[in-house]
Structure 1
Amino acid sequence: MSPEIRTLDETDVADWVRALHTGFHLAPSVTDEEVAARRAAYDLARTRGAFDQGRCVATFRSMPRELTVPGGAFLAASAITNVSVTATHRRRGLASRLMAADLADAKERGEAVAILVAAEYPIYGRFGFGPATWVADWEVDLPRAALDPRYAGPDDGGRVDLVGVDEVRKAGPALHDRVRALTPGAIDRTPGWWEIATGERVFASQPWTEPFFAMHRDAAGEVQGLVAYTTVDHPWPGKLPRVDAKVRQLIAATPAAEQALWRFLLSLDWVTRLDTNHRAPDDVLPLLLGDPRAARTETLADFMWLRVLDVPVALSARTYGGAPTRLVLDVRDTAGLAGGRFVLETDAAGAGRCTPSTAADEPELTLDVADLGCLYLGDESVSRLAALGRVAEDRPGAVRAADALFRTARRPWCPDVF
């Protein structure tokens, strides 16, 4: 018999967590404390499993999130996570069945898009997802960075101070709410996120090491930025310092705060290598160095994938560039969730309005819903997808007009794994 797909009840949680551990190559045993913590944190109505003869063999979960879109609006999104299939049950369509059930529920709830972080690239395109944000990780070789050794903090009246977890818990959430409003691709952080990030909640399978926290305040004393980082001290060959620093998170509400926090990290005594962790691919960091080549790119990869579930709501939520435009889009969706023909109209201020088209409207661009996901936050080029044959130009000039509409001045960025 085919495994049963269903949402969880209270008695399923321990078995589901064991299956998750197995799928993610963690220790197969789970503690009662972890089961209790996950049961308290999860919405069981949005947590699914595949069960074969009473044993959980696949896991899937989604969460409500707000996604920042170009222009600063927050869009209701279904954030998908904890997707796993036990090795003994692969290639049986379990992930497809779990995804189909969750996407249908998300559309019914009115969540205009679904988002996820893909562990493997080839999996999610077939479900209508496209890579919507990318990340870069740099490893900075500080001895080669040609830094100004005299840096002693901001010269605009602001300051950077080391702070404790209590201050982070107090000021961090409000700061992040300001930052995410400025960052297309960012999502909201729950109280539980801050509990984990500050060590208030720890899972046995995810040990927590307390980082250093540094906070930037401007000349008026307002918190404008926050960084968390860890250090590792290696043996010093020939008495030469060799300390690594790794950024866990760095958020800033102003360019001055962002630069001050980077300069603080770059000027840490004894540190010879700085790992930036996931940043936007067009982050300012390399250009802060006297020699940008000292920031070696360790990772440049897709990160957050997006699947449109409601085309009119999603396209009406964001703002656009270029001149006022009317564009007819023919969106193909084999799953039947978001396909159709739509009219996107924008005004001189960049506001957009998307509605279903009439039968008289001829398509000007034809594309798959997954490619609409690639374009939605402004990261991808319509022209590049057209060159690949993934966007069809049904009216001459439509590709150029769409490129002007969708692209953004800075690349979107999702700071958080979820």
Structure 2
Amino acid sequence: MSPEIRTIGDDDLRDWIAALATGFLRPAEASDEDIAFRKADYDPERTWGAYDGGRCVATFRSFAQELTVVGGAVVPADAVSAVTVLPTHRRRGLLSRIMANDLRAAKERGDVVASLIAAEYPIYGRFGFGPASWTTSWRIDTARAALDPRHAAPESGGRIDLATPEEVREFGPGLHDRFRVQVPGAVSRNHWWWQRDTGAVRLSGDAAGERHHAVYRSPTGEIEGLASYSYEARWEAKRPENTAHVHRLIATSPAAERALWQYLCSIDWVRHVTTGYRAPDDLLPDFLGDPRAAAVDEHSDYLWLRPLDVPRLLEARTYPVAATLVLEVEDRAGLAGGRFLLDASPAGTSCTPTTRSAELTLDVSELGALCLGDAAAGRLAALGRIQEERPGALATADALLRTARRPWCPDLF
């Protein structure tokens, strides 16, 4: 018999968490703390399991999220996470069945997009998701960074202070809300995110080690940036070879961003700084006296988006020029397809169903890749993923959709 697909309740959590951990190659034993955290931070109507003979063999959850689009508006998103299928039950369509249920419910709720961080590239395109932002991480050799060795205070006149986890939980949410409306691709963080990220809640799979927090205050005293980091200690021949691993760094101004990176690269005994996931066009390397001191560790796709309401998605963002474009959006799931007239300008935008001839034909997943301004329509056409039906339509799409700075999602979810 085919496994049963259903939402779960509190009594299912221990088995569900064990299946989730197994899928991510972690120890399957769920602690009481794991159970308590999940009870506080999950929605039973949006948490799914597949059950075979009473045992959980696949997991899936979604939760409410806000996504920032180009121009600073936020749209409601269906954030997809905790997706696993046990190796004994692969290739049976379990994920397809659960995903269809979740996306249909998200559409009915009025979510504009679904979002996820793809652990594996080939899986999610068939469900209408496309890579909307990319990420890059660097490893900085502080000895080569060519910073002033006398550096002790930010050049802007502000200051760096250390903060306790309790203080971060107090000011962090407000700082993040000011930050995220500036960055297309940034997402909201709930109360439990801050509890876990600052160590107030620690689950069995979380990395051990103490985190430190540095805050940038502007000359007027306003908190404009936060860096959270930990140390990896190593000495060779009585010489420090320690590494500072940056877990999070957000800033609402370039001055704050510069000051925090300069601080991290100036800590005594720290020989290397790993940056964690940053925007591909991050300002960081050029904050250094020698940008070559920052070597790329990783560059990859990151945030994937699946449009659920094309008019609301395209009307929510801003556009740098005035133009019209007729899009034929194909959606095998029947959730967001159709032909739409995008009439955009810096003064305002409308996107409505139309019977006019299509100028570009694309899958809903390609619209997901384009909507935050990162992908280029011309490039996708060269790859055979978009069809230009009117000469010049690709150039129009790129003039409308592409952005000067690349989108960035700082968070894993």
CA distance in 2, matches of 1:253, 1:69: 17
CA distance in 1, matches of 2:240, 2:35: 43
Residue 209 of structure 1 is matched in structure 2 by 209
Matches within 5 A, 1:124-203: 124-203=124-203
Kept in 2, the 8 Å contact 1:139–1:295? The answer is yes
- Deviation for aligned residue 1:20: 0.7
CA distance in 2, matches of 1:21, 1:168: 29
1:354 and 2:351 aligned: yes
The C-alpha deviation readout for 1:250-301, integer Å capped at 9, x for no partner, is 0001111011101111111121111000000111111112221111101000
Kept in 1, the 8 Å contact 2:147–2:262? The answer is no
1:366 and 2:345 aligned: no
Residue 58 of structure 2 is matched in structure 1 by 58
Kept in 1, the 8 Å contact 2:327–2:339? The answer is yes
CA distance in 2, matches of 1:127, 1:148: 51
Matches within 5 A, 1:19-418: 19-237=19-237, 239-322=238-321, 324-349=322-347, 351-357=348-354, 359=355, 361-418=356-413
Kept in 2, the 8 Å contact 1:78–1:113? The answer is yes
CA distance in 2, matches of 1:153, 1:411: 30
Shift in alpha-carbon separation, 1:70–1:341, aligned structure 2, 3 A: same
The C-alpha deviation readout for 1:358-397, integer Å capped at 9, x for no partner, is x2x0001110100000001001001101111211111111
With normalisation by structure 1, the TM-score equals 0.97
Q: Any gaps of 5 or more consecutive residues in structure 1?
A: none
CA distance in 2, matches of 1:34, 1:76: 28
Aligned amino acid, residue 352 of structure 2 = T
CA distance in 2, matches of 1:348, 1:282: 24
Aligned amino acid, residue 369 of structure 1 = V
CA distance in 2, matches of 1:156, 1:14: 51
Aligned amino acid, residue 328 of structure 2 = D
CA distance in 2, matches of 1:336, 1:32: 42
CA distance in 1, matches of 2:259, 2:88: 51
CA distance in 2, matches of 1:73, 1:188: 12
CA distance in 1, matches of 2:56, 2:336: 31
Identity rate of aligned residues, in percent? Answer: 56
Q: Secondary structure at the match of 2:325?
A: strand
With normalisation by structure 2, the TM-score equals 0.98
CA distance in 1, matches of 2:74, 2:43: 22
- Deviation for aligned residue 1:54: 1.0
CA distance in 2, matches of 1:5, 1:205: 26
CA distance in 2, matches of 1:231, 1:37: 27
Q: Secondary structure at the match of 1:204?
A: coil
Shift in alpha-carbon separation, 1:205–1:240, aligned structure 2, 3 A: closer
CA distance in 2, matches of 1:241, 1:410: 37
- Deviation for aligned residue 1:228: 0.5
Q: Secondary structure at the match of 1:161?
A: strand
Kept in 2, the 8 Å contact 1:180–1:188? The answer is yes
- Deviation for aligned residue 1:204: 2.1
Q: Secondary structure at the match of 1:261?
A: helix
- Deviation for aligned residue 1:148: 2.0
- Deviation for aligned residue 1:144: 2.1
- Deviation for aligned residue 1:305: 0.4
CA distance in 2, matches of 1:217, 1:293: 28
Kept in 2, the 8 Å contact 1:199–1:208? The answer is no
Q: Any gaps of 5 or more consecutive residues in structure 2?
A: none
CA distance in 1, matches of 2:172, 2:32: 30
The C-alpha deviation readout for 1:54-86, integer Å capped at 9, x for no partner, is 111000000000000000001000000000001
- Deviation for aligned residue 1:208: 4.3
Kept in 1, the 8 Å contact 2:133–2:407? The answer is yes
CA distance in 2, matches of 1:145, 1:210: 26
Kept in 1, the 8 Å contact 2:17–2:28? The answer is no
CA-atom RMSD in angstroms = 1.1
1:18 and 2:15 aligned: no
CA distance in 2, matches of 1:266, 1:29: 39
Kept in 1, the 8 Å contact 2:138–2:296? The answer is yes
- Deviation for aligned residue 1:106: 0.4
The C-alpha deviation readout for 1:126-155, integer Å capped at 9, x for no partner, is 111000011101001122222221222113
Kept in 2, the 8 Å contact 1:138–1:275? The answer is yes
Aligned amino acid, residue 49 of structure 2 = G
Kept in 1, the 8 Å contact 2:320–2:345? The answer is no
Kept in 2, the 8 Å contact 1:234–1:243? The answer is yes
Aligned amino acid, residue 240 of structure 1 = R
